[in-house]
Structure 1
Amino acid sequence: MPKRGYHHGNLRQALVEAALELIREKSPQGFTLSEAAKAAGVTPAAVYRHFAGREDLIAECATQGFEIFSDLMDYAFNKGQPSALAAFEATGRAYLAFARRYPGHYMAMFESGVSHSQTPELAAAAARANRVLERAAEALSQHIPREKRPPAAMFSAHIWAMSHGVVELYARAAPGTRTPFSPEDLLETGIGIYMRGLGLLPPDS
């Protein structure tokens, strides 16, 4: 039987798709380059025409993930929300939606151990995602007096950490991690508490 990878016209992307499936099934550390090649229908030697090694293949999975991630968050922020706060909350929900819909990409991005500086393309894609969230934080914090305003990078890092924690603990359907609250409610409440601490929301009556 001919090797399927030579006939579908895009071996590089076929290897990425094979790696994403293996990452979902086995974790980023749980598969070999030979397994990815076999899943794509090519010999292991053929992989090296497109990737220097396993880490480069995972880096491409992460790069594509960050590009999708940035697009989703950018759309959530810009889709005509009535306020900067609503836009910011929509960005947080997009984070959760991405982790659920693209688990292989998410794991390659955040759980593979591959440095975001592994390739220039990955570094650029990760930086773009940071800028999307920083822009949302900057828009929201304009109402805080300048002398009390946290840097947008710090503001966005706090929200990123909160979103990431909710995803890791409660949005990945891991056994024993269920709560009576949805991940969306947990994140929205956490963001609300943070906003009140900054004076962006009135205290509870």
Structure 2
Amino acid sequence: MPKRGYHHGNLREALINGCLRLIEKRGPTGFTLSEAAREAGVTPAAVYRHFEGREDLIAAAAHEGYEMFGDLMEHAYGNGQPSALSAFESTGRAYLAFARKYPGHYVAMFESGISINRTPELNAVATRAMGVLEKAAAELSQHIPAEKRPPPQMFSAHIWAMSHGVVELFARGSPGTQSPFPPEDLLETGIGIYLRGLGLLEPDS
């Protein structure tokens, strides 16, 4: 009988899926390569047909995540948004939605310690994905007077930091970090305060 999780010709994907389940349960350093093989339903020796070690496997999960993340961000940015502001806000919501829907991928991408420079392929998909947020920031920043305009990279980094903080503290149900407000509301109001500080939104009356 075939082992659980493995189908002929799909060993690599079975191992990545096993890795993602273990990341969700134990974090990126809480399992061995042998345990990932067992989770996928294959022998430990089978893992080395595709991966040299656990970090290679997590990097493959991160690569898959960045590809999905890039697609989601591009859809959010370009899906008929009526203004640069709405496109920018949409990318922030897409970030939060991705973290909630794909927690294993999110951790592999942003919390595993795997550098996006590990391989040229990983760098390419990560740069494309995060470039959408930077592009949205650059477009929105054109509405700020040039002498007050932050670099787009700084602009997008601030929003990334804010989004990541909301994910870490409130969007994944961590014990002791319950908020009386939905994560989406926290992110939206936080971005609103930031944009008002840049003069991109009218002050509250």
TM-score (ref. length: structure 2): 0.95
Q: Do structure 1's residue 24 and structure 2's residue 24 form an aligned pair?
A: yes
Q: What are the equivalent positions in structure 2 for 1:11-160 lying under 5 Å apart?
A: 11-160=11-160
Deviations 1:101-150 (A, max 9, x none): 00000111112112222222221111112211100001111111222211
Deviating above 6 A after TM superposition, structure 1's stretches of 4 or more consecutive aligned residues are: none
Q: Which consecutive unaligned segments of at least 5 residues does structure 1 have?
A: none
Equivalenced residue count is 205
Residue 198 (structure 1) shift? 0.8
Residue 175 of structure 1: how far off its partner (Å)? 1.5
Which amino acid letter does the alignment assign opposite residue 179 of structure 2?
A: T
Return the alpha-carbon distance in structure 2 between the equivalents of residues 86 and 197 of structure 1.
17
Structure 2 unpaired stretches of 5+: none
1:62 match: secondary structure: helix
How far apart are 1:8 and its partner, in Å? 2.9
TM-score (norm 1): 0.95
Q: Distance in 1 between matches of 2:7 and 2:149?
A: 56
Sort the Cα spacing of 1:99 and 1:7 in 2 relative to 1 into closer, same or farther, 3 A.
closer
Identity %: 74
Residues 56 and 118 of structure 1 are in contact (CA less than 8 Å); yes or no, is this contact kept in structure 2? no
Structure 2: distance between partners of 1:48 and 1:159:
39
One-letter amino acid matched to 1:46: A
Alignment CA distance shift 1:51-1:149 (3 Å): same
Q: Is the 8 A contact 2:6 2:40 kept in 1?
A: no
Q: 1:34 to 1:79 in 2, by over 3 A?
A: same
In structure 2, do the counterparts of structure 1 residues 96 and 7 end up closer, same or farther at CA, with 3 Å as the change threshold?
Answer: closer
Matched with 1:180 is: 180
